[in-house]
Amino acid sequence: MLYLTLIVCFVVSILITPLIKKFAFLIGATDRPNQRKVHQLIMPRLGGLAIFISFMVGIILLRPESQSSLAILLGCLLIIATGFLDDIYELPAKYKLLGQLAAACAVVFLGDLQMVFINLPFGGQLQFGFLSVPFTILWIVGITNAINLIDGLDGLAAGVSSIALITISGMAIIQGNFYVVAVGLIVLASTLGFLIYNFHPAKIFMGDTGALFLGFIISVLSLLGFKNVTFISFVIPVIILGVPISDTIFAIIRRIVNKQPLSAPDKSHLHHCMLRMGYSHQQTVLIIYAMAAFFGLVAVIYSQARLGGAIVLIGIVILLIEIIAEKIGLMGHNYRPLLNIVRTLKITTAKNRS
């Protein structure tokens, strides 16, 4: 039944996306080019509605059950409504945030989905106590926005989300968590059907309807799959979402350093920097796909590693992220502390040899 449902979701997404495209033009849910945008033509957004409708078809057919399932569906409806209104009216950031908080609170309070504690590697537990609620809400809102921030090129957010969903679903299969497997694969099939129209050159954008929905459902599934477990497992969803999380962290730091509002848009995200380096639109997307797949692979290896190996692996990943960030200029071309150290060491070594 699962395989048949996934095929149905994929086909429904393919069939309904052209209809959503016409609907987007009809109600004025379009994206006009400007100095911050990469595209040059007026594009229909609202494509995420096709993903959501296909997702709901899959949920109705398969009916995966969890104690949090109704609350999760309510959260999905709230986040879809927020994205839908933003795609039409371009809501102020504070109203978008309110919609995200409402969706997160629905899951946390009605679905009783909270990260209460983690088991520490050297024994004992870290109890979040009264911080479990704000911590869980922060995780959901943070990941929701992280996916939204990377939605800057054709097929980028859909592809990165698909890779994250594959990893989360694969690890849920190992854990025997059928609900996470079923929902994750349903969203994956729905997203891949839409990606046919969204990959470069895109015929439709997913808009905030899609980006917020994908970010929300990925954040919730990662909590369902990895909550209240060991410190090792606690880090797994962070690794899986390494590309959007690291891009978001650097964006926050960049805006604080430049004394800009956190919600201020700019053209210094990962994909913008790679385009400036001379990579084509399609090359940039494929390279970021490869990065996301690398993080997914690291997450799988990390989950099987012992404590010492896991710590070394995390250290290597953090080092690689910093080097890549400096190399492509995520924090500006003058921010190159590690590369400057390497350059100094090379010069010193060369002088000593001579």
Q: Which two tokens stand for residue 19?
A: 């209809």
Tokens of 196: 């046919």
Contact residues for 264 (Cβ-Cβ < 8 A; gap 6+): 255
85 in Cβ contact with 91 (< 8 Å):
yes
CA–CA distance from 164 to each of 74, 308, 328 (Å)? 23, 25, 23
Residue with tokens 């994929």: 10
How many CA atoms, within 13 angstroms, populate the side-chain half-sphere of residue 209?
Answer: 27
Which of 299, 16, 15 lies closest to 163, judged by CA?
Answer: 299
Asked if 46 and 28 count as a contact pair (C-beta separation under 8 A), the reply is: no
Q: Say what the pLDDT of residue 343 is.
A: 80
Provide the pLDDT for residue 6. 96
Q: 261 vs 29, 75, 189, 254, CA distance in Å?
A: 26, 27, 36, 10
- Region of 270 (left: φ > 0; alpha: ψ -120 to 50; beta: rest) is alpha
pLDDT of residue 34: 60
172 within 8 A of 180, measured Cβ to Cβ? yes
C-alpha Rg value of the chain to the nearest Å: 21
Q: Residue 298 contacts by C-beta under 8 Å, 6 or more apart in sequence? A: 239, 242, 313, 317
Instruction: Walk along the chain (354 residues) and give the pLDDT tens digit of each residue.
Output: 888 999 999 999 999 999 999 999 999 888 877 655 555 678 898 999 999 999 999 999 999 988 889 999 999 999 999 999 999 998 998 999 999 999 999 999 998 888 776 655 555 666 777 888 998 899 899 999 989 888 888 999 999 999 999 999 998 898 888 999 999 999 999 999 999 999 988 999 999 999 999 999 999 998 887 654 545 556 777 888 888 888 888 888 888 877 777 666 667 788 888 888 888 888 999 999 999 999 989 888 887 777 778 788 888 888 988 888 888 887 777 778 887 887 887 777 777 776
- With CA atoms as reference, report the closest residue to 81 among 204, 191, 213: 213
Q: Angle at which helices 231-240 and 207-226 pack, to 10 degrees?
A: 160
Element spanning 44, H or E: strand 43-44
Q: Are 162 and 210 in contact (CB under 8 A)?
A: no
Question: Model pTM?
Answer: 0.88
Contact 338/322 with Cβ under 8 angstroms?
yes
